[in-house]
Amino acid sequence: MSEASAPHAADRRELTAAQRNAVAELLRVSPVADELGRRFVRAGHELHLVGGSVRDALLGRLGDDLDFCTDAHPDETLRIIKGWAESIWETGREFGTIGAQRDGLRLEITTFRAESYDQVSRNPVVVYGTSLDEDLKRRDFTINAMAVSLPDHRFTDPHGGLDDISAKVIRTPSTPGESFGDDPLRMLRAARFAAQLRFAVHPDVHLAMTEMAADLDRITAERIRDEFTKLLCGADPITGLRLLVDTGLAERFLPELTGLKLEIDEHAQHKDVYEHTLTVVENAISYEEEGCDFILRMAALLHDVGKPATKAVGSDGRVSFHHHEVVGARLTKARMKAMRYPKEVTAKVTALVALHLRFYGYGRGEWTDSAVRRYVADAGDLLPRLHKLTRSDCTTRNRRKAAQLAADYDALEDRIARIAAEEDLARVRPDLDGNAIMELLGVPPGPVVGRAWKHLKEQRLEHGPLDRDAAEAELLRWARAEGLIT
């Protein structure tokens, strides 16, 4: 590691641990990486493991996706790896990247870059660089500006990335203003890395993020969406979300989050809706069973975005937010559409926001079996997430109230299980299907069948399953009332 900056004495033990992590990780992938490096050297080119791969190796978390840089241009890279790689893809060719797979590892090999921006365009203009140092300098953060040359394993760290990993700090190789001026998305990426790695943002970086937040408007919605999704799925999204709000970045693409700071939550007067929301996100994460559930996390983040628009203060001074779930669902749909999330993902998050208050009132004993059926039917396959979101929404410090809400929801889940065992609640459908309706009424496919089906479903929800004779009698009764038969 001859080119790394010398570690401070106080950091030496931690850096040694980081280096041990790197050695262990690199030994795992070195048979493929070193073999690839030798192929490039024989062809008269350089090859370096670089960026996030080196960072993750130092952190002991290197995966199966490896990033390399080289002085070879894409056509030359293709010649070097053809016949060696098990598969090759060229989807990133316009950015100088050739992809390959070998022994279960996904490899991305990119020509040295010296990206340039005109300060107006919304995407980078790719210009090939000529050296490793030039390539590392144009990278976003020092922790991503390190390289391991192959096959000799020479370590290059011209900007002190190893020290910053030890200090758990996010800095830029050039000045933050220059870096963010080149690509404003890097400001959002700083918050994302803070969330993923639990690192702190350097004060100079924080200041530049605040002063240059408006520059994020130059970036496409799709690029912002992808970075934000990674942030929300990070190990510590709360840190990332706070950075977005504190620097003003959230105001550029998710202003509803910043707006929550202005309101008071009537369920917990000791904290505003913003703090309540962050707590709900943390609670939701604790209910995840395997990996990030983005739909659940996003619903937790947006569940109360309708409160600012519905705030009312009564004559007794109490704050209320009547129907904020309805307004919130509408705002959620509009915001996720603007961020270019897929329709299916948007629909699921919107539905959870709309349903998150439905449970309140159950503890007063007002719910009939019909209400339980409708709760399950409206949630559909989102019911497990709705259970988690509703439980996450309880953030009161009043232990008695919290215990009562938990007991009430336990009772609701038990009741759902009981009725489901009796009636197959997972598939609440009319007791007669479309064919039976057409046969009994003597009508062809069309609107009448749909209306009849809907009526029978309402009866199913209200009264539970009907046997065949009772269902047919109800259908005929409805048809007579509608004037369809005499």
Token representation of residue 249 = 């970045």
Distance CA 430, CA 79 (A): 63
Decide if pLDDT at 76 tops 70.
yes
Q: What confidence category does residue 369 fall into, taking pLDDT thresholds of 50, 70 and 90?
A: confident
**Tokens encoding 245:** 């709000």
C-alpha distances (whole Å) from 468 to each of 66, 428, 448, 473 are: 62, 16, 20, 9
Peptide bond just before 151 cis, omega within 30 deg:
yes
Q: Is 69 helix (H, G, I), strand (E, B) or coil?
A: strand
DSSP assignment of 138-184: TSS-GGG--EEETTT--EE-TT-HHHHHHHTEE--SS-HHHHHHH-T
Written as six digits, the tokens of 244 are: 């977005």
| CA dist., res. 367 & res. 389, Å (int) | 20
Bridge partners of 109, per DSSP, are 68, 98
Choice between 269 and 364, residue whose per-residue pLDDT is larger: 364
DSSP 187-243: HHHHHHHHHHH-PEEPHHHHHHHHHTGGGGGGS-HHHHHHHHHHHHTSS-HHHHHHH
Residue ranges of E strands in 41-96 = 47-50, 65-70, 87-89
Determine the average pLDDT of the residues in 22-31. 78
What are the pLDDT digits (tens) for 284-335? 999 999 899 999 999 999 999 999 888 888 777 777 788 899 999 999 999 9
- Look at residue 39 in the predicted model and tell me its pLDDT: 97
240-252: average pLDDT:
97
Sign, CA dihedral 362-365-371-377, equals positive
State the DSSP string of 439-481: HHHT--SSHHHHHHHHHHHHHHHHH----HHHHHHHHHHHHHH
Give the per-residue pLDDT at 13: 44
Give Cβ neighbours of residue 440 (< 8 Å, ≥ 6 apart).
432, 472, 475, 476
Per-residue pLDDT, 123: 57
Tokens standing for 463? Answer: 């009264």
For residues 3 and 19, give the distance between their C-alpha atoms in angstroms, rounded to a whole number. 14
Contact 144, 49 (CB under 8 A): no
What pLDDT, on a 0 to 100 scale, did the predictor assign at position 364?
62
| % pLDDT > 90, the chain | 55
Residue 171 confidence (pLDDT)? 97
Region 83-102: mean pLDDT is 94
If one compares 50 and 420, the residue with the highest pLDDT of the two is 50
Q: CA-to-CA distance for 19 and 14, rounded, in angstroms? A: 9
| Three-state secondary structure of 406-422 | HHHHHHHHHHHHHHHHH
Q: Is the Cβ–Cβ distance between 194 and 244 less than 8 Å? A: no
* 189 contacts 219 by C-beta, under 8 angstroms: no
pLDDT, residue 317, reads 73
CA angle at 78 for the pair 74 and 80, rounded to the nearest 5°:
115
Least-confidence region, from 115-129, 153-167, 218-232, 241-255? 115-129
pTM above 0.85, yes or no: no
Backbone angles phi, psi at 78, to 5 degrees: -60, -40
Given a contact cutoff of 8 angstroms between Cβ atoms, the answer to whether 5 and 157 are in contact is yes
Which tens digits make up the pLDDT trace of 154-196? Answer: 899 999 999 999 999 999 999 999 999 989 999 999 999 999 9
Return the structure tokens found at 77.
Answer: 């890279």
Average pLDDT over residues 206-213: 98
* Residues in the chain, overall count: 486
385 or 20, which is more confident: 385
Helix (H, G, I), strand (E, B) or coil at 403: helix
pLDDT the model gives residue 10: 40
- C-alpha 287/C-alpha 280 separation (Å) is 11
Burial category of 364 from C-beta neighbours within 10 Å (exposed 0-12, middle 13-18, buried 19 and up) = exposed
* Half-sphere exposure (Cβ direction) of 115: Cα atoms closer than 13 Å: 21
Query: When comparing pLDDT for 281 and 379, which is higher?
Result: 281
72 Cβ contact partners less than 8 Å away, ≥ 6 residues apart: 40, 43, 45, 46, 80, 109, 111
User: For the ranges 222-236, 403-417, 430-444, which has the lowest average pLDDT?
Assistant: 430-444
Q: What is the pLDDT of residue 432?
A: 66
Give pLDDT tens digits for 330-352: 999 999 999 999 999 999 999 99
Say which range, 201-205, 210-214, 294-298, 415-419, has the weakest mean pLDDT.
415-419
Beta bridge partners of 320: 312
Residues 6+ apart with CB under 8 A from 180: 172, 186, 187, 208, 209, 212, 215
